[in-house]
Amino acid sequence: MMIYLDHMATTPLDPRVFDAMLPYLKEEFGNPQSVYDLGIKAREAIEKAREQVAYLINCKPSEVVFTSSGSESNNFALKGIALAKRREGKHIIVSRVDHHSVLNSARFLERLGFTVTYLPVNKYGEVDPATVEKHITKETILISIIHASSEVGTIQPIEEIAKIAKEHNVLLHTDAVASAGNIPVDVDKLGVDLLSLSAHQFYGPKGVGALFIREGVEIVPLIHGGIQEDGRRAGTENVPAIVGMGVAAELTKKELTERMAHVKRLRDKLVAELTSRIENIYYTGHPEKRLPGHASFCVEYVEGEAMLLLLATKGIYAASGSACTSKALKASPTLLSMGIPAHIAQGSIVFSFGKDNTMEDVKYIYSMNFRKS
């Protein structure tokens, strides 16, 4: 028996997505660049997926570039813009709570001679738009702020940051890997120039993502080679995965409102029960401006990995930001930058709900009793 509550790590493939992908793993194996029928059908399939993804985020299909993952999209955005604009300026702004693929791309660019400002966050993990403005200089060419944190669920004020970026004529990128599929993501409402997506976060397959690049924005490719993706990202397209991403995007657009209401109900119930039944438990992240299915806590005096192991023995799969659960054996930088003391960050535990979870799952968790009689 499994109760899967780690939808921030990945989500199960929707059976409707699987069905759509199957032909492209079997008889429709053509290369989309080929001139004959088999290739043309593959080409049409990926262009349809492109429209479906564009519809999800409200952009033009020509503004969508398929990649292998959210991490690749983030690398592409940071490095591609930095290189494209290197003669105009060398300063980049990111937040301390951004994903490793943004932070490490930024650190790499520092080694190439760029300067990077890593913006602090408040106790909820929020970036203050005023702080962004304070750090913009004539040299600033890119701001990259994550849309929502997978660790503490907090949603950043991207719209306000976008207004500031526009006033100062600086490009704005946002990593929407954790937000797309969980809350509405509209590139015009947000006001961003670039946006990263990952299919396996919204019931699509792993191995495919996308980068939205607003028309008119020049970017240097990360992967040079042939002419795929309009010369912006070489490599024979992962047709089945791209088809999968398209269908997942279409289903997400259609079902989002329902899904949001469903996970919010479950999440709110879990939070109410756990905070009333457990002593020394803290709900981390912003109490309201957060992903609807996201419940992150720190439990004092108990370590995160130990909690995950115990939960796993009962079939409950969750996540943690403790040092022991990280490959670097360091507590989550996000929790620490929120001012959470390291010894409390050690007790981090994160539950993220998905469309297939039920109230039974929630009841099971809060009724669990590990005490031995």
Partner 1 sequence: MYSKKVLEHFMNPRNVGEIPDADGVGIEGNPVCGDVMKIYIKVKDDKIVDAKFQTFGCGAAIAVSSMITEIVKGKTLDEAMKISKDVVAEALGGLPSKKRQ
Q: Identify whether the C-beta of residue 2 lies closer than 8 Å to the C-beta of residue 364.
A: no
| Residues 76-105, interacting with partner 1 (CB under 8 A) | none
Strand arrangement, sheet containing 209-213? 64-67, 209-213, 194-198, 171-175, 140-144, 91-95, 115-119
Judged by beta carbon, residue 359 or residue 368, the one nearer partner 1 is: 368
Residue 31's identity, in one-letter code, is: N
- The three-point CA angle 211-213-215 to 5° equals 155
CA distance 238 to 223: 15
* Contact positions with partner 1 (CB under 8 A) in 219-238: none
Q: Exposure pattern of 162-196 as b/e (b: 16+ CB <10 Å)?
A: bebbeeeebbbbbbbbbbbbbbebebeebbbbbbb
Quick count: other Cβ atoms within 10 Å of Cβ 328? 8
Let me know if 298 is a catalytic residue.
Answer: no
| Position among 346, 348, 352, 357 found at the interface with partner 1 (CB under 8 A) | 346
Nearer to partner 1, 189 or 330 (CB): 330
Instruction: Please say which residue, 2 or 130, places its beta carbon nearer to partner 1.
Output: 2
Minimum CB separation from partner 1 for residue 5, in Å? 19
Q: What is d(CA 174, CA 50) in angstroms, rounded to the nearest whole number?
A: 19
Select 174 or 322, whichever has its Cβ closest to partner 1: 322
Instruction: Give the residue, chosen from 51, 160, 305, 356, that forms a contact with partner 1 under the rule CB under 8 A.
Output: 305
Residue in 324, 342, 359, 368 annotated catalytic: 324
Residue 371 C-beta: closest distance to partner 1, Å: 13
Residues 251, 258: contact at Cβ < 8 Å? no
Rounded CA-CA distance 371/369 in Å is: 6
* 112 or 342: CB nearest partner 1: 342
Least distance (Å) between residue 373 CB and partner 1: 14
CB of 346 to partner 1, least distance (A): 6
Distance separating alpha carbons of residues 297 and 159, to the nearest angstrom: 27
* CB of residue 304 to partner 1, shortest distance in Å: 8
Sign of CA dihedral 337, 343, 346, 348: negative
Which residues within the stretch 283-302 sit at the binding site for partner 1 (CB under 8 A)? 301-302
| Closer to partner 1 by Cβ: residue 67 or 320 | 320
Binding mask 306-345 for partner 1 (x = CB under 8 A): x--xx--x--------xxxx-x-xxx----------xx--
- Burial label for 298, CB within 10 Å (0-12, 13-18, 19+), is buried
With a CB cutoff of 8 Å and minimum separation 6, the contacts of 299 are 278, 280, 281, 282, 307, 347, 349
Does position 261 interact with partner 1 (CB under 8 A)? The reply is no
Tokens 């108990």, residue located = 302
Among 304, 321, 333, 354, which residue interacts with partner 1 (rule: CB under 8 A)? 304
Shortest gap between Cβ of 333 and partner 1 (angstroms)?
14
Alpha-carbon distance of 205 to 245, in angstroms, equals 7
Question: Kind and range of the H or E element at 296?
Answer: strand 294-299
**Residues contacting partner 1: total by CB under 8 A:** 20
CB of 90 to partner 1, least distance (A): 35
Q: Please identify, using beta-carbon distances, which residue of 330 and 363 lies nearer to partner 1.
A: 330
- Contact positions vs partner 1 (CB under 8 A): 301-306, 309-310, 313, 322-325, 327, 329-331, 342-343, 346
Catalytically active residues are: 324
